[in-house]
Each structure stands twice: as structure tokens, then as C-alpha cells.
Structure 1
Amino acid sequence: MEVQDRSFLRGGVRLPLGPRAASLTRSRLFQKCSKVSVSCSLNESSAKVIYSVAPAMGHNKDAHPECSLRVPAIVTALEKLELTPKFRGSEIIQLEDFRIATVEDIASVHSKSYVVGLEKAMEKVSEQGFIHIDGSGPTYATAATFQESLVAAGAGLSLVDHVVAASKITQNPPIGFALIRPPGHHAVPTGPMGFCVFGNVAIAARYAQRVHGLKRVFIIDFDVHHGNGTNDAFYDDPDIFFLSTHQDGSYPGTGKIDNIGSGNGEGTTLNLPLAGGSGDHAMRTVFDDVIVPSAQRFKPDIILVSAGYDGHVLDPLANFQFTTGTYYMLASNIKQLAKELCGGRCVFFLEGGYNLESLSDSVADSFRAFVGEPSMAAKVEDLGYLYDEPSFKVKQAIQKIKHLHSL
């Protein structure tokens, strides 16, 4: 897929290509958006999905898995499958204007020295055109990376605002979905890591507490890789429960099963590494036996989701066997869990997913789950290439988790 116009996406924040012009535009938009108090319109209160789009077209390295084609592929699929406001009216809403995250927002999770250092590094990038800011991914930066990352984080924060506002006037607020990049769950408090620049979900969790008084935040991370950055940010925090399912032994090698938090936060971190080859059956079992009882015990005020789609069997960077139907199941069940436990307050944040076809199909099927329509999985994929899951290893892992957390 070729994108001819880098400001092509309808709604969201439209950014011109030049970094200096982009900075000015974002500054003006922030001045505008930061002064507007969030209220919920009648359409938003009756919507089933509200989403924001921040594709970071200026943050791009061709042939890198985390490139600027990802979000446009999703938007194209949503249009093709008629899952946009154009076709759905008020049932699905795209947030047209959203705030830009401030340095203070980012510094609620990341050290100010990192944030300031990254902003200063943009001058060097402007001269060279491209630099690596972390070698483990590797994570790259262009002249637009700092500002694009503020836009991405802000798109998520604005969804929190709108979902919370809707929850005050309806028992069925829309599910939020931040279609954003660069992703965030690997970014540690002191710096970038694993394609990630700022911890979008972690920043949103602190924002929900600070701005909306939602004390208890439950984070579900179903990306195939461990969300080590989110894990580290809240490892000793009793009010934020971080639950990660990920492929055992995959990048970055963290998230061991006995890492359960420390100090006052002991017991509010749950890491469930699953054997390579785990698929739909494993994830359904994990959801019923681990995620649901953990959330029920924690009693959250809001659920945030690190929605990584790189566990799909077609994704090139890992070795799970999730299907489009697996992501439909997760979206449907998480929506129901939020309805039962926290007034329906729930926001998804895009993380990984590097096969454009499986990524876009799976996100689109998540939207179908949110609006209560049947999965399209059977029509978009042939499951003949799946092999037997390592059921015994998965069962062992779940049993150990249930023992460690007394589930």
C-alpha cells in the first residue's frame, strides 16, 4: 500500500511534512485543545466505539517492521469493511480533534531527563536525517519522532477523557481505541526500547488517576512480547494492576512468572509467559482462568489494554498461533469485563503487529466485537496451517500463576 499524502487521514491531527511547520501546527492545536473541557455529546453517549488516529507518518524507516504503513493499513481495512463513521453514523465515532500530551504528562512515567534529552536529540536528527536511540529493538528516531510521540500519547489521553465523560451519563459508554504509533509498552521510565518511545498506556494510567480520580487501573497487555516498560513503571504500585501474557523467551526476555511486584505492589503484577505455539485455546483458557478472576479481585475503576496484534500466526516477529478470531474473542470479553467491573470504562492502545494484512484484519474484527457483530475471521483466513498447541505447558503455567496469586 502506498500513501501519497502524509496528512491523508480524515480527523485526528493533520500534520504537514516539514518538522518546523509540524511543530508550529501542533503547538497551536495544543493551545486550542488544552483549553477545552471535555463534555460528552448525545452521539458519543450512544456510540459503541470511539477511536483516534495518530499514524506518525514522519516517524518512519522503510523496511523496518514498525513503519508508517501500519496505521494506514488499519484505517483502509476499517473503511473497506464499513466500520467507520461514514457507514455507521453515531455508532462508531472518530475523535476529530485531540489534545497533544505535555511534557508533564510524559514525565508522570518517564524521567524528565529522558524527555528533555529526546527533544534535544531532534536537532541532531534534523542534521543527519535518522538516528538509533536504542539498539535492542532497534528503536529509531527521525526529526518528527518527539512531536509524533506527543501526538500519539495525547490521542490516548483524549480517549480516556471522552470514555470517562460518556460513562457519567450512560451505563454503556463506547470502547476507546487509540490507533497510534510509535508503540509504547517497552519504553522504560529512563528511555526508549523495542520500537517504543513513550509508554502510552502507562501515561494514560497515571492520567486517569490524576485527572479523573480513577484510583485503581487494570492494564491487560496481550502483545506477544512482554510489556517490560509498563511492568517497571508500576512494579511497586498497589493501585495499578499490570497483567501481561507473552511468548516465553521472546524479546526482551523479561516478564518471568515469579515477577509479581514488590513492596506495597506485591501481587499487582502478573506475568504469564506462554510457550511458543500457543494459540486460541490457550488464550481463551487464560482469559477465563487468570484474567477474569484477577480483575474481579482487583475491582478496577478503568481497564486499559496494550493491544498488540503480533501474536497472530502470520506475524513475522514471534511464534504464537493466534488468529483473527482470537482477537475478536479478546475484544468481546474485555468489553464485557469492563461493563461488569468498571462501568464500561475501557480504552485499547495499539502496540505491535507487523504483518499488515493480519494486523488490519484483526483490529477490524476487534471493532466488530465492540459493536456486537459476528466475527469475520472465517472469511479472511484459512486455518489449515495451524498445528497442535503445547497444551500441557500452558496448563502448567496457568497452574503456577493460580498458585502464586491464589486465584
Structure 2
Amino acid sequence: MEVPLFFCPAFVGIVLFRVRHQVSLSNSHHKLRFAAKNRFFLRLENGNPFKSIRGSFRCSNWIENYPTAPSITQIADAKVIYSVAPAMGHNKESHPECNSRVPAIMNALEKMELTPKFRGSEIIELQSLKPATVDDIASVHAKAYVSGLEKVMDQATEKGLIFIDGSGPTYATATTFQESLLAAGAGISLIDSVVAASKVSHSPPVGFALIRPPGHHAVPKGPMGFCVFGNVAIAARYAQRAHGLKRVFIIDFDVHHGNGTNDAFYDDPDIFFLSTHQDGSYPGTGKIDQSGHGAGEGATLNLPLPGGSGDIAMRTVVDEVIVPCAQRFKPDIILVSAGYDGHVLDPLASLQYTTGTYYMLASSIKELAKDLCGGLCVFFLEGGYNLSSLSYSVADSFHAFLGEPTLAADFDNPAILYEEPSNKVKQAIQKIKHIHSL
């Protein structure tokens, strides 16, 4: 199948990508195959000669599971390890959650010399991945949903594109099921990587899953809000099951409430879910008094922030809410739903975070993980729909992981910012501190 040239209008500066991919039942490694060998091959064109990105996916124990991956010692010496699952076949023309999102990030990392090509052993791309199993997905989602989604792939193949969320925003194409398994698996592979590194180093690398479709809206019974499978929730259960990391702290700084993650763990005392999001934004959940149920009472913290909240608000939230919550919870690992759609340039909301805000978040969370859980920390890409602000903010997050100065001043324009609603922010923070006895 040949996908034509496309342009996502939110991107500042035109980047064209031509994607060729084929679906085959043969054993040829030159074709996209989503069956037993699970190989993908894509080519990107951005004004430079074509370059290839390959991933091969296999199963169990570090050597057996990741036979072509760097050694544990190499990973332990790195500062950042990332995986890439761009879901190039999962695409709807003119949709904000388009298949140019991950390639835009990769272009920015290349441009800013934040890839293994430029950084050697400091940065590693984990290329030997495995798709999540159905059992991995079923640790969070109903098996009926998982099997039902697989069955409608024939319908998606026939029609080209279908909607799988009754409210309309979540679509599927012929490759959505397998590419969603791969997105979840890319996160799981990073869990394995940072845990393996932590066995031989006190400073394992920070992991970042550059994946789509996003996941934090996907509820246990089905898809929602651009999201198919709950990538971070699946990784949390995997960390518990495979590595005995019982206490998982999840930070969700996407502009929208991570209702799917919220629902998956609402009665679980061992998984603390903390979401900051814009008050009144989609999907309308995540009220400040929703703090868990039963045994999980107090292990959910929802902090809706007023529109216009920005860098000052988020710095205060980190200092007065996120850090004390994590210190009290004492996690074994920190997972992050990293949504970059709170950026002032993003079209889907009205917060005014900057690239510098995301640098601060990445730096603070990295240090929190170092202090509390031996540095075990993995970020998962969620939202972010202005391709320019998304890609530069992710790149500056990498600078934070590396312990390097922010380059936000090269991108941010303070002139477009306006006064934050400081009184409303203060009221929200004081209320959440009262509810959770912080």
C-alpha cells in the first residue's frame, strides 16, 4: 500500500513524509508483517535521502527477549533510552492525532543532535521490541474488548477507516490493532530495560516511549478520546507482575484528564494516580474530590487547573503536590503519561505551558525517581498536536534527562503569554492539599 504525501497543518514549518508499507503473509523481512515475526519497516523522507527505521520483536529473559539489544552494561551507562512505535498505518487525514507526530519528534531529536548517532553511549534507541501480548492488554482491558477490536480489523481493511469510539474521536484502520499492541509493547520493553539497568547501576537511564496511539483515555471496557489501549496502565501492571515493583506512582501531566488510567486503578492502593489537567476540558472527568474508592481511597489525586495556568502554576504543583505525594507513597517505580498538549501553542486546550515548563517537569520527575526509587522512571507519549511545540518540548525533555541546560529560550516566545489566574490556582492547590492532607 502506498500512502500519499501529507502535511499536518499544525506544524510550524513544512515537513513532508512519504511512507511506504506493505502487509504480507510471506516471510520476507522487507515487508510489514504483523504475524509471528512481527517486523515493521518504514521509510521517512524529510529533504534528506531516505533512511530506514527497523524494529524486530521477540520474547522472554533479557538475552532471549532482546537478543539484538545493547548489553545491560551499555544500557546502564546510558542516560536516556527510548523506543519508537510511530503507528504509520493508523492515520486519519486532517485528524489531530495523525501519523506525523512521532516522525516530527524524531526529526527534532536528529536536528538537535539528541540521538545515538550524535551522543554515542549517552542515548540508546531500543530497537529490539516486542508487541504486548493479549494477556498484557487484558491485565487492564476487558478481554471482550480486545478480541472485539481484533475482529473488526477485517471491517477496517474493507472500509479503509472506521470509528471504534461511539463519540467519534477514536478511529481505526487495518493496522490499528497490531500497531496498538506494538505501542504497548514498546513501553513494556522500556520497563524491562530500566529494571535490567538498575541491577548493575544506581543511575539507570530514563526511558521514553515515543509511541502512538496514545492511551490514557482508553477505559477498561474500550477505546476513548484518540486512545486504543492504556499504555501506561498496561506497563504499570506489567511492572508489578514481571518485576515485583508493587508500588507504582503514575504522573499524568497531559492537558486532559487521564480517565482511563484513573478508572483502571481507582480502587487499588498500590498504584497512585496523579493527574493535573485543565478544568472543564475533555472528557469532563477528574474532579478534585475524586480520590479513589474502597482500599484505593486516597491513592488517586485529581487536580484540575483553571484555563490560563502556566509555568508558575506547574512549578508550584510540583513543589507542593507532586513531590510530597510521591515522598509519602514511596514508589518502586515512577511512570509518566507525558502529554504535551498543555503547551500555549497547542490547538486543543487553553493552558499556557512552555517548552521550559516541560523541561522543568522532566528534570523534576527524574530527580524524584532518583531520590525515591533508584531512578526507575519511564515516560509515555500521550497528547501534543502542534507538531512544532510537541517535538521541541520532547527534545528539551531529553536535555533535562541528560542534565544539560534547557534550550527553551530558542523556541519559546514570552510575548504571547498572559497573566496566569494565580488566585484560582492557589485555591485549587490549597483544596487538594486539604483533601489529601499534604
Instruction: Provide TM-score, normalisation by structure 2.
Output: 0.89
The separation in 2 between residues aligned to 1:269 and 1:127, in whole angstroms, is 42
1:23–1:147 contact (8 Å) kept in structure 2: no
User: Is residue 152 from structure 1 mapped to residue 183 from structure 2 by the alignment?
Assistant: yes
Structure 1: how far apart are the matches of 2:33 and 2:212?
Answer: 20
Q: Which residue of 2 aligns with 1:12?
A: none
Distance in 2 (alpha carbons) for counterparts of 1:35 and 1:265 = 32
Equivalent residue for 2:75, pick from 34, 44, 49 = 44
1:74 partner amino acid: I
Task: Report the alpha carbon displacement of residue 155 of structure 1 after superposing the two structures with TM.
Answer: 0.3
Is 1:374 the equivalent of 2:405? Answer: yes
Checking the alignment, whether the CA contact within 8 Å between 2:305 and 2:428 is kept in structure 1 is yes
- CA gap of 1:32–1:69, structure 2 versus 1, over 3 A, is closer
CA contact (8 A) 1:224 1:247 kept: yes
Alignment of 1:237-386 (within 5 A): 237-386=268-417
Does residue 3 of the first structure (1) align with residue 34 of the second (2)? no
Residue 27 of structure 2 is aligned to residue 18 of structure 1:
no
Alpha-carbon offset, residue 382 of structure 1: 1.3
Q: Distance in 1 between matches of 2:168 and 2:282?
A: 9
Deviation at 1:35, TM superposition (A): 3.9
Q: Distance in 2 between matches of 1:163 and 1:32?
A: 18
1:120 Cα deviation after fit: 0.1
The amino acid across from 2:314 in the alignment is M
Moved over 6 A (4+): none
Q: Give the distance between the partners of 2:61 and 2:181, measured in 1 at CA.
A: 18
- Deviations along 1:281-325, whole A, 9 cap, x unmatched? 000000000000000000000000000000000000000000000
Per the alignment, residue 50 of structure 2 pairs with none
2:59 to 5, 12, 34: 34
Query: In the alignment, residue 37 of structure 2 is paired with which amino acid?
Result: R
Q: Which amino acid aligns with 1:209?
A: Q
**1:121 to 1:20, Cα distance in 2 relative to 1, 3 A:** farther
What secondary structure does 1:27 align onto? coil
- The amino acid across from 2:87 in the alignment is A
The answer to whether the Cα contact below 8 Å between 2:216 and 2:259 also exists between their aligned partners in 1 is yes
Of 77, 86, 92, the residue aligned with 2:108 is: 77
Which amino acid is 1:343 matched to? G
Code of the aligned partner of 1:323 = T
Q: 2:133 aligns with which of 94, 97, 102?
A: 102
| Aligned ranges 1:143-182 → 2 under 5 Å | 143-182=174-213
Q: Give distance in 1, aligned partners of 2:184 and 2:427.
A: 37
Change in CA separation of 1:132 and 1:350 when aligned onto 2, cut-off 3 Å? same
Change in Cα spacing, 1:123 to 1:19, as seen in structure 2 (3 Å) is farther
Q: Secondary structure in 2 aligned to 1:300?
A: coil
Cα distance between partner residues in 2 of 1:63 and 1:310:
17
Kept in 1, the 8 Å contact 2:34–2:178? The answer is: no
| Residue 173 (structure 2) pairs with residue 142 (structure 1) | yes
Q: Secondary structure in 1 aligned to 2:336?
A: strand
CA contact (8 A) 1:277 1:389 kept: yes
The separation in 2 between residues aligned to 1:288 and 1:358, in whole angstroms, is: 25
Q: Name the CA distance, whole Å, in 2 between partners of 1:25 and 1:136.
A: 29
CA displacement at 1:104 relative to structure 2: 0.3
Conservation of the 8 A alpha-carbon contact between 1:19 and 1:144: no
1:222 equivalent in structure 2:
253
Change (3 A) 1:42 1:226: same
Cα distance, 1:25 vs. partner? 4.4
When the two structures are superposed, what TM-score results if normalisation uses the length of structure 1? 0.95
State the shift of 1:27 in Å.
Answer: 2.2
CA RMSD of aligned residues (A): 1.4
Gaps of 5+ in 2: 1-14, 40-55
In the TM superposition, residue 136 of structure 1 has moved relative to its aligned partner by 3.0
User: 2:113 aligned with 1:113, yes or no?
Assistant: no
Shift of 1:2: 1.6
In the alignment, structure 1 residue 133 sits paired with structure 2 residue 147: no
Q: Aligned residue for 2:124?
A: 93
CA apart distance, 1:388: 0.3
Asked if 1:207 corresponds to 2:238, the answer is: yes
Distance apart, 1:4 and its partner CA: 1.7
Q: Supply the distance in 2 between the matched residues of 1:36 and 1:342 (Cα, whole angstroms).
A: 23
CA drift of 1:26 comes to 4.7
Q: Does 1:123 align with 2:128?
A: no
- CA, structure 1 residues 146+36, in 2 after alignment: closer, same or farther (shift >3 Å)? same
- The Cα offsets for residues 155-178 of structure 1, whole Å up to 9 and x where unpaired, read as 000000000000111110000000
- Corresponding residue SS for 1:28: coil
**Is the 8 Å Cα contact of residues 19 and 143 (structure 1) preserved in structure 2?**
no
Correspondence for 2:44: none
Asked if the contact 1:56–1:148 (Cα under 8 Å) also holds between the matched residues in 2, the reply is: yes
Measure, in 2, the Cα distance between the counterparts of 1:37 and 1:92: 19
Report deviation, 1:23.
7.2
Deviation digits for residues 214-266 of structure 1, max 9, x if unmatched? 00000000000000000000000000000000000000000000000000000
Deviation string 1:357-376 (CA, Å, 9 cap, x unpaired) is 00000000000000011111
Using the TM superposition, give the Cα deviation of residue 179 of structure 1 relative to its aligned residue in structure 2, in angstroms: 0.1
Once the 2 structures are TM-superposed, how far is the Cα of residue 135 of structure 1 from its aligned partner? 3.7
Q: Which amino acid aligns with 1:252?
A: P
Give CA-to-partner distance per residue, 1:339-359, whole Å, 9 cap, x none. 000000000000000000000
1:55 and 1:135 map into 2 onto residues whose CA distance is 25
